[in-house]
Amino acid sequence: MTTTFDSIAGQLDGQAIELPSWAFGNSGTRFKVFSTPGTPRTIQEKLTDAAQVHRLTGLAPKVALHIPWDKVDDYSALREFAAGVGVELGTVNSNTFQDDDYKFGSLTHTDAVVRQKAIDHHFECIDVMNATGSSDLKIWLADGTNYPGQGDIRGRQDRLAESLQAIYDRLGDEQRLVLEYKFFEPAFYHTDVPDWGTSYAHVTALGEKAFVCLDTGHHAPGTNIEFIVAQLLRLGKLGSFDFNSRFYADDDLIVGAADPFQLFRIMYEVVRGGGYGPATESGTSPVAFMLDQCHNVEDKIPGQIRSVLNVQEMTARALLVDRIALDAAQATGDVLGANAILMDAFYTDVRGPLAAWRESRGLPADPMAAYAASGYQAQIAAERVGGTQSSWGA
């Protein structure tokens, strides 16, 4: 291995991973949602918890909002509140999946009145972005059907394109639309944006401010996600990640927990494809790295700390790949040599050097231990009594 940690340490500065507000609320499965003492009751308490993650890791300066879960009367005041606790407001996620009117679709619905209601919701999200200073509007649709013949698949695509265009036209010059795909759930026969190709087709038709959002849990088992990353970067259309990990379907477990090697391979393609680091002069849009996770049985704040540290560790390992040696091995058909170069980087334990990297930047060497020792968990458990704990979907 000729690439040393010291030579890549500077590239770890400025890494930013956006936290989802909903990860701090209670979540669960359709069987049971467990509650935890100290769980936030308001978006302000969620932001305060998210700020702990950033304070201890230096990795999480922004928090993504979900509307209407995080609805408030005054978003400018919320922006100021966030700044006061040490974070910024990030991506605004729309929600057209919890309203009876959308039972048969939202942006794809056959009824123009329902479609307009869904479009208006996105206009409201753009108003929120204008007040919060957020640059990205993230759209994920639950639209789809359960039975063959239930809907006109083709007609739904046409209506989707039209609805997306109306939303896109409302964006400001510095704002972006990212369209997230998911292969199934809640619809089980067909989904209207099931894969990266469909998302790519729509965002390409929309224009240069529209991109694909890749949620790592939204693929069929066995899908080569790093190939999709490479392809979207090549096409200039990878807008953002929703990071999480999964053993089965859309499990939303801690990123890097189920398959650290997959996270490494994804981060390697991000680095290889120019998706990591500041925007280039040629105008390559930066990729937004977000978590989209739930913490059903573990404590939420340490769950988020563990997550951003996992992303940082795999980013460091990806940066450690000796690209010159790898190029040479690939060019000469040295199959096992090329594989060994990649695996050398993957197997490099970067935890010690990262602890030193943190200390040199005034951060705790071990953010998990620092959080446990801080007493914050006991403090919020004691303080946050009364009121209703927030939960995913409320």
Report the nearest approach of ligand LRH to the CB of residue 162 (Å).
22
Other C-beta atoms closer than 10 Å to the C-beta of 205 total: 12
CB nearer to ligand LRH: pick between 182 and 300: 182
Q: Does residue 70 interact with ligand LRH by CB under 6 A? A: no
Task: Give the contact letters, 140-159, x = binds to ligand LRH (CB under 6 A), - = no.
Answer: x-------------------
Report the nearest approach of ligand LRH to the CB of residue 20 (Å).
7
Q: Does residue 93 interact with ligand LRH by CB under 6 A? A: yes
Task: Give the contact letters, 191-230, x = binds to Mn ion (CB under 5 A), - = no.
Answer: ------------------------x---------------
- Contact residues for 251 (Cβ-Cβ < 8 A; gap 6+): 217, 244, 245, 258
CB nearer to ligand LRH: pick between 70 and 215: 215
CB nearer to Mn ion: pick between 337 and 393: 393
Report the nearest approach of ligand LRH to the CB of residue 251 (Å).
11
Q: Give the number of residues in contact with Mn ion, rule: CB under 5 A.
A: 4
Report the nearest approach of ligand LRH to the CB of residue 290 (Å).
9
Q: Which does 344 bind (CB under 5 to 8 A by kind): ligand LRH, Mn ion, none?
A: none
CB nearer to Mn ion: pick between 48 and 95: 95
Q: Give the number of residues in contact with ligand LRH, rule: CB under 6 A.
A: 8
CB nearer to Mn ion: pick between 49 and 292: 292
Report the nearest approach of ligand LRH to the CB of residue 283 (Å).
27
Q: Does residue 182 interact with ligand LRH by CB under 6 A? A: yes
**Cβ 380 vs Cβ 56: under 8 Å:** no
| DSSP bridge partners of 64 | 20
Residue in 173, 21, 139 with CA at minimum distance from that of residue 89: 21
d(Cα 82, Cα 249) in Å, to the nearest integer?
Answer: 33
* Residues of span 220-279 touching ligand LRH by CB under 6 A: 242, 250
Give the residue, chosen from 18, 136, 226, 292, that forms a contact with ligand LRH under the rule CB under 6 A.
Answer: 292
* Residues of span 243-302 touching Mn ion by CB under 5 A: 250, 292
Q: Does residue 136 interact with Mn ion by CB under 5 A? A: no
**Count of CA atoms in the C-beta half-sphere (13 A) of 370:** 17
CB nearer to ligand LRH: pick between 48 and 95: 95
Report the nearest approach of ligand LRH to the CB of residue 166 (Å).
20
Give the residue, chosen from 180, 269, 313, 344, that forms a contact with ligand LRH under the rule CB under 6 A.
Answer: 180
Q: Which does 226 bind (CB under 5 to 8 A by kind): Mn ion, ligand LRH, none?
A: none
**Cβ 262 vs Cβ 225: under 8 Å:** yes
Residues that bind Mn ion (CB under 5 A): 215, 242, 250, 292
Residues that bind ligand LRH (CB under 6 A): 93, 140, 180, 182, 215, 242, 250, 292
